[in-house]
Structure formats: C-alpha cells, structure tokens
C-alpha cells in the first residue's frame, strides 16, 4: 500500500542496561508474559508442547462462564461421578447449580466436577443444534437413560464441550494447544485423518490462555472473583448434602499483588502452574510446565517467585510517544495550483491527528529494550486529492509486536489541472477584466 519507509536510523530508540540475566529454574518449560500486550519477557523452552494437567481448568472455567445459562443446573452422571481423584464426591443423579460447581472446579480442582460441568453444557449445546463433529446418527443411536436430559451419552456431551475449548484456543491463535479432557487428565485422541493428538499446550500458550481469562474475556471479572475466593460452601439443589472448598493456590499469599492462578499435576505432566501478579499497574503472567515431580512439590512456587521478581526488577513503563514527530508533505502529480502560481514539484501538506490527551504510549520495557517508530507512506499521489485522504501510517514497533499505529492524512485538497479547470480559470479572468472595462489584449 505504501512505498516509503522511514530510515531506522531516524526512528530507533536505544535502550540501555545490562545483558539479560539467565535465571535458574526447575521447570523444563517456563515463560514470563506481559499481560497487557501478550509479549513474552522471559522464555525457557516456552514453545514445546507438553501435558498441562489441571491448569487445563482455566480454559474449562472461562468456556463454561461464557456458554452457561443463568441459573443452569447440572445433574451428575455415573460417568462424571466415576472420575479419578481429586473428586468432589458427587453421586449419580445429584443436581447442582453450575455457579456453585465453579468453586469446586477451581479451588479444589475436582475432576468429577469438571466433567459434570462439561457434560451439562455440552449436552445442552448439542440439543440446541451446535453438534460440532457429532452426527445425527450418533445422537440417535446414543444409549438412553431414565432421564430424557441424558438422551445424549456422557462422553459425546463432554466431547462437545471440549470441542468448544479447542475452538476458543484456535480463535486465540494457539496452534500448539489441544484439549482432550476438561479436567486435565492425560489423554490422546485420534482425529478424522487418522493422526493422534495428545492433551497438551506450551508454556507460552498456557500464559496466553490465562491472559484471555483475565484481560480479554467478557467474563474476566467473574473468573477473577472465583479464582481469588479463599473458601466456599454450597449444597446440592435438594439441600441434602453440603460441600466446602478451600483455595489451594498458595501463590495468592506469597507475593504482594498476586492476582490469580491454577495448579496442576499428573504423573506424566509433573507439577504445573499458571498465575498472574499485578503491581504498580504492571501485570505479569507466569506459566510453568514439568516443574518437578513428587518430593519437589514446592519447585513451582520457587520458579513463580523467581520469574515474577525478575519482571518486577527489570521491567518498567516508559512513555515512547514521539510528540515532536511531524509527517512530511507528499508530492502531487497533475495538481492545479491553489493560488494560480505554478510551483514544481507540487506537494500537499500532511498531518497526524492525535488528540492531546491521547498523545501518550506507555510501554513495559526492559533495560535493553527499544521501540522503533516507523512511518510508511506514499511518495506521491495523483490529483485530485481530497483533504483527509490517508497517505501513510505511523507505527510503534517492539520486536514483532505493533504496539500502536496512527494514520496520516492530507491537510488540504488539491484540484486536478485538466481542461475544465484551465477553461474555468481563463474564463473567470476574462470576465473579471471585462467587468472592469479593460481588455485582455
């Protein structure tokens, strides 16, 4: 679109400071992310897919929050009640409000609860016609139970919900994330093309999921409220049994500004963790995969503290907006002179229209980091030119990330110098002279 790029020498903002510190971490895979931009600030093998255990449940929760109906009730199936530990201990046929089960899911990480939530919402979606990969024949042949609500078998309903989790991951651009189970238990699935995909993600993409949960999702406030709750008590709908949940996210009490998080463990995944911290308008996310096995349960807390402290010590906000930057005029071909005087080359002035209150761009930067201010614009345009025509864009770039961009417009209009314009000007001059009683000869 544009054929003029400003010189890097003119637009490069140099950073200063020491080389990046190499951290000693227990986790095989780890990242530190700036939650505001999604930029990775520190990376240790953060792009390698690995199993993520119950950290899966952050996606389970946000998917449920976004798809559930107000006051929706879940009925436990034998399939849900039969999930392996850790369990709430629900019994087949018991009913619960989904809004209560969210606390069981996140505070205690109950596996039966995750399946019950997924089964309830997945079954409803299938009945509403959102069948995903499930055919009419599969649904019609599903085993029937005494409850008509369970006319779709449990595994099919859970699969429909997990498909929504995968759809969300795809929407977020997470190409190395795949969910097989809603509770994070290890699993593998054979796809239609015969390939097999394991339940897995990367540390970078796990951090991106939490970023969506706390920054972008329309249900972010509910997500934070649930995951920050210290304890919660509820009963089944019939009021026959009561249940108490306690939050096991120890990070919430470890560092000032600890915001949210979720632990996880399976024999294959090892200890995993994803959490966020907010302090002095800075929000950091840490994701850890394969961070030790039994007898090393505290490794994840040590790594989380190390990475969060690294972010706090090395990254501060700097305003990188260039208030003195002004765009250059653009050459115009075939334009008519505004004052009747022919000037070559003819140009039209341009302007960057940014209100004074918006002339600020705070960016979280490390001591070595720099921002490029890059202008891409047209070298020339052909008349006629209307005032307010976009002729370029000013971009603030950090690595591969475009932090902000602003359009540059023409400040004036330029008429085209054609026969009609010339005839009109000559005729106008003749009439002016004639009206004064003069002669053009």
pLDDT tens per residue across span 202-219: 999 999 999 999 999 999
> Which pLDDT value is given to residue 146?
35
Q: Is 11 helix (H, G, I), strand (E, B) or coil?
A: helix
Residue pair 162/183 in contact by the 8 Å Cβ criterion = no
First-to-final CA distance of the chain:
50
Complete DSSP assignment for 55-89: GGHHHHHHHHHHHPPTT-EEE--HHHHTPPSS---
Six-digit token string for 74? 């879940």
> Which pLDDT value is given to residue 106?
99
Q: Please name every residue paired with 396 in a beta bridge, in sequence order, or none if there are none.
A: 373, 404
> Which pLDDT value is given to residue 191?
87
> Which pLDDT value is given to residue 131?
46
Tell me the average pLDDT across 27-44: 97
Query: Residue 422: which pLDDT band, with cuts at 50, 70 and 90?
Result: low
> Which pLDDT value is given to residue 350?
94
> Which pLDDT value is given to residue 17?
36
d(CA 390, CA 405): 13
Residue pair 369/13 in contact by the 8 Å Cβ criterion = no
> Which pLDDT value is given to residue 281?
94
Residue pair 31/204 in contact by the 8 Å Cβ criterion = yes
Six-digit token string for 375? 């202008």
148 — phi, psi (to 5°)?
A: -60, -25
Tell me the whole-structure pTM to 2 decimals.
Answer: 0.83
Tell me the average pLDDT across 130-159: 59
- Judge whether residue 71 has pLDDT over 60: yes
Judged by average pLDDT, the poorest of 62-71, 119-128, 254-263, 323-332 is 323-332
CB < 8 Å & 24+ apart, contacts of 229-235: 229/103, 229/107, 231/107, 232/100, 232/103, 232/107, 234/96, 234/97, 234/100, 234/103, 234/104
Query: Residue 43: which pLDDT band, with cuts at 50, 70 and 90?
Result: very high
> Which pLDDT value is given to residue 420?
59
Average pLDDT, the chain: 88
330 — phi, psi (to 5°)?
A: -115, 135
d(CA 402, CA 393): 12
Tell me the average pLDDT across 8-22: 43
Residue pair 392/351 in contact by the 8 Å Cβ criterion = no
Q: Please name every residue paired with 370 in a beta bridge, in sequence order, or none if there are none.
A: none
> Which pLDDT value is given to residue 11?
31
d(CA 377, CA 92): 66
Higher pLDDT: 91 or 422? It is 91
DSSP one-letter code for 150: G
- Judge whether residue 60 has pLDDT over 60: yes
Tell me the average pLDDT across 400-413: 93
Query: Residue 155: which pLDDT band, with cuts at 50, 70 and 90?
Result: very high
**Domain with residues 4-12+321-425, CATH architecture:** Sandwich (2.60)
Q: Where in the chain is the domain with CATH 3.40.710.10?
A: 29-134+142-295
* CA triple 188-190-196, angle to 5 deg: 65
The superfamily in CATH containing domain 29-134+142-295 is DD-peptidase/beta-lactamase superfamily (3.40.710.10)
Residue pair 244/104 in contact by the 8 Å Cβ criterion = no
DSSP one-letter code for 45: S
Query: Residue 346: which pLDDT band, with cuts at 50, 70 and 90?
Result: confident
Buried b (16+ CB within 10 A) or exposed e, 378-403: beebebbbeeebebbbbbbbbeeeeb
Percent of the chain with pLDDT over 90: 74
- Secondary structure of 234-272 in the HEC alphabet? EECCCCCCEEEEECCCHHHHCCCCEEEEEEEEECCCEEE
Query: Residue 337: which pLDDT band, with cuts at 50, 70 and 90?
Result: confident
> Which pLDDT value is given to residue 400?
87
Six-digit token string for 324? 């003195």
Q: Where in the chain is the domain with CATH 2.60.410?
A: 4-12+321-425
DSSP one-letter code for 144: P
Tell me the average pLDDT across 36-49: 96
């Amino acid at each position: 679109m544009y054929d003029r790029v400003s010189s890097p020498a003119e637009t490069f903002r140099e950073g200063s400071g020491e080389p990046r510190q190499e951290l000693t971490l227990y986790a095989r895979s780890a990242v530190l992310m700036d939650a505001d931009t999604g930029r990775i600030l520190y990376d240790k093998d953060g792009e390698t897919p690995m199993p993520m255990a119950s950290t899966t449940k952050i996606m389970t929760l946000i998917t449920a929050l976004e798809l559930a109906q107000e006051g929706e009730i879940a009925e436990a199936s034998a399939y849900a009640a039969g999930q392996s530990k850790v369990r709430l201990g629900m019994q087949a046929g018991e009913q619960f409000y989904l809004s209560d089960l969210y606390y069981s899911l996140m505070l205690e990480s109950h596996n039966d609860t995750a399946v019950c939530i997924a089964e309830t919402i997945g079954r409803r979606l299938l009945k509403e016609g959102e069948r995903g990969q499930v055919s009419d024949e599969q649904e019609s042949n599903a085993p029937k139970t005494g409850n008509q609500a369970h006319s779709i078998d449990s595994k099919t309903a859970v699969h429909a919900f997990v498909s929504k989790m995968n759809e969300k991951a795809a929407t977020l651009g997470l190409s190395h994330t795949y969910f097989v189970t809603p509770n994070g238990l290890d699993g593998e699935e054979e796809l239609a093309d015969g390939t097999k995909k394991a339940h897995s993600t990367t540390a970078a993409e796990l951090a991106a999921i939490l970023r969506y949960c706390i920054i972008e999702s329309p249900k972010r406030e509910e997500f934070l409220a649930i995951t920050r709750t210290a304890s919660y008590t509820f009963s089944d709908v019939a009021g026959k049994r009561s249940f108490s949940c306690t939050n096991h996210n120890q990070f919430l009490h470890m560092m000032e500004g600890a915001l949210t998080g979720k632990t996880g463990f399976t024999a294959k995944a090892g200890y995993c963790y994803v959490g966020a911290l907010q302090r002095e308008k800075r929000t950091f996310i840490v994701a850890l995969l394969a961070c030790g096995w039994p007898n090393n349960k505290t490794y994840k807390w040590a790594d989380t503290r190390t990475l969060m402290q690294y972010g706090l010590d090395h990254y501060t906000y700097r305003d990188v907006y260039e208030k003195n930057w002004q765009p250059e005029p653009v050459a115009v071909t075939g334009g008519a002179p505004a004052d009747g005087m022919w000037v070559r080359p003819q140009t039209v002035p341009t302007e960057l229209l940014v209100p004074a209150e918006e002339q600020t761009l705070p960016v979280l930067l490390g001591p070595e980091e720099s921002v490029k201010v890059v202008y891409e614009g047209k070298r020339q345009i052909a008349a006629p030119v209307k005032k307010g025509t976009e002729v370029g864009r000013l971009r603030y770039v950090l690595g591969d990330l475009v932090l902000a961009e602003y359009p540059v417009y023409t400040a004036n209009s330029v008429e085209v110098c054609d026969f009609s314009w010339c005839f009109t000007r000559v005729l106008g001059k003749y009439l002016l002279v004639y009206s004064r009683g003069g002669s053009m000869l």
